Amino acid sequence: MSPTFVVVPQWQGSISSRAMRLADGADAIRGDLPESATRTVDVPVEAGDAQDTGIHRFSTLLMVRERMDLTLRSVSDWALTVGGDCGVSLAAVAHAARQHPNDLAIVWLDAHAALHTPETSPSGAFNGMVLRAIAGEGTDGLALSGDSRVPLERVVIAGARDIDQAEADLIAERGIVTLPVEDLGSPDALVAAVRATGAGHVYLHIDLDVLDPSGFAGLNDLYPFGLGVETLTGLITALRADFGLAGVTIAGFAPASPEDATDDLPSILRIIGALTR
């Protein structure tokens, strides 16, 4: 069954001076999606405030989460969520986890591990805390709970190249499975890691900064030695062959201009094609 595309041009999870480009990127991708299968979540213009949580723009992030929850309730099968910043995965994973209780693994394809809490975050940006919140650890309102959360033992982080010390300590302490780029040339290690979780369904979070910037320009931050698009689509194909696809996020597209967006969209459409064909 074809997915419902849910476009969420949220930028407030990032504190980069270029964060608004993430909203532009979501809008650019939306232009190539089938209109009849696409829903757009309204994201407030205002940045929002922290409300003493230690999370920048917390009030707006909470509002967008609630709006996403409402939109996703009407999605009967799986959703392909298009961000915006990677914080859009919070509500999207919660929806998938409720559909597949205790049978969902997450593959976190991202240059960042996103394992901070407000207490450890050096920036206070929610995009550095998303995966920890998905596991149910963090601030009330954004940390998932009950059947909507996915514990860290069912998470596989793949392609991360910017991991802070607090995150590295947590990975070691909790035994979180982390596969570097050099282990992803073949999908075998990734498929085996997901299989080891015991889950029959997988949620794919794809922040486009997992890609190597030499072949993809529209990134908020540039981290060299990432994946190629062909390698990424090969991983997607292998995972789909072995597991049920419960949902997907594509986030982190931050083109500097409409012309730059046009240059990168064919690569994004190749990724979407691997997810939906």
Q: What is the pLDDT of residue 72?
A: 97
Q: What is the pLDDT of residue 53?
A: 96
**pTM of the complete model beyond 0.85:** yes
Domain housing 124: 4-276
CA-to-CA dists, residue 22 to 71, 97, 168, angstroms: 20, 26, 27
23: domain CATH number is 3.40.800.10
Q: What is the pLDDT of residue 1?
A: 67
Q: How many domains does the chain have?
A: 1
> At 187, is the secondary structure helix, strand, or coil?
coil
Torsion of CA 107, 109, 110, 114, to 10 degrees: 0
Partnered with residue 79 across adjacent β-strands are 4
Q: What is the pLDDT of residue 2?
A: 85
| Tens of pLDDT, residues 203-240 | 999 999 999 999 999 998 889 999 999 999 999 999 99
Q: What is the pLDDT of residue 76?
A: 87
CA-to-CA dists, residue 30 to 73, 191, 205, angstroms: 20, 30, 18
Tokens (6 digits) for 245: 């696809």
Q: Whole-angstrom Cα distance, residue 248 to residue 275?
A: 8
Q: What is the pLDDT of residue 220?
A: 84
Residue whose tokens read 């993809």: 216
Q: What is the pLDDT of residue 221?
A: 83
Residue whose tokens read 């991983």: 235
Q: Are 176 and 137 in contact (CB under 8 A)?
A: no
Q: What is the pLDDT of residue 223?
A: 94
Instruction: Pick out the chain residues at pLDDT < 50.
Output: none
